[in-house]
Structure 1
Amino acid sequence: MKIVAVTSCPSGVAHTYMAAEAIEKAAKAAGIGVKVETQGSIGIENELTASDISEADVVVITKDMDIKNTDRFKNSKVVKISIGDAIKKAPTLMQKIKDHVEKKNS
């Protein structure tokens, strides 16, 4: 199982990267492959490729700021969450995603 995520916050600094780290840590703990793109004050980092997106079971996007290039995800299952939930509730989110995908695939 694999997810990709895009994080961005209003200031484009700390919370963007805190959310990315929380998602990465929680996904790895849940046994989920993960790649996170950040859209911070210095621009897009760790940009998701078309292959990354097509291979992902779910795309997680923080919804506090407009994410650039969202048309990339038009054929993907997208989950939108707040930046705060990405930071504080990442383990719960990963478990819900894992349960959903496993149920869908069984």
Structure 2
Amino acid sequence: MKIVAVTACIAGLAHTYMAKSNLEKSAKAKGYEIKVETQGAMGVENRITQEEVDSADVVIFAVDTNVTDRDRFEGKKIITVGTKEAIRDGESVIAKAEDEI
């Protein structure tokens, strides 16, 4: 399975990056390919390209705020959770992505 994800918290600091880290760890433990874009205090980092969006099986938004350039993901299967859920239980977020496919 190929996943792209966006993480973003209100302050754009700790939770954004903690969610990114846990999603990556949880996806890789299952053998899935994942790219996580962060939208935080430093702006957009590790930006997901349109080609990566198009080839992804599912999109995960682990966000507590709006996603910048959300229209890039139109037509894709999207799972939306809060950053705290991704931090606490990344495995269940990945399981939700599996269920969506």
Normalised TM-score (structure 1): 0.90
- Runs of 4+ off more than 6 Å: none
| Cα root mean square deviation, aligned | 1.1
**What is the alpha-carbon distance in structure 1 between the residues aligned to residue 97 and residue 64 of structure 2?**
20
Q: How many aligned residue pairs are there?
A: 101
Tell me the equivalent position of 1:15: 15
* Worse overlay, 19-28 or 56-65: 56-65
User: Residue 26 of structure 2 contacts residue 91 of structure 2 at CA under 8 Å; is this kept in 1?
Assistant: yes
| Percent of pairs with identical residues | 44
Deviation of 1:100 (Å): 4.1
Structure (1 or 2) with the larger CA radius of gyration? 1
In structure 2, stretches of 5+ residues that fail to align are none
Q: AA paired with 1:73?
A: F
In structure 1, stretches of 5+ residues that fail to align are 102-106
Distance 1:47 1:24, change over 3 A: same
User: Residue 50 of structure 1 contacts residue 72 of structure 1 at CA under 8 Å; is this kept in 2?
Assistant: yes
Normalised TM-score (structure 2): 0.94
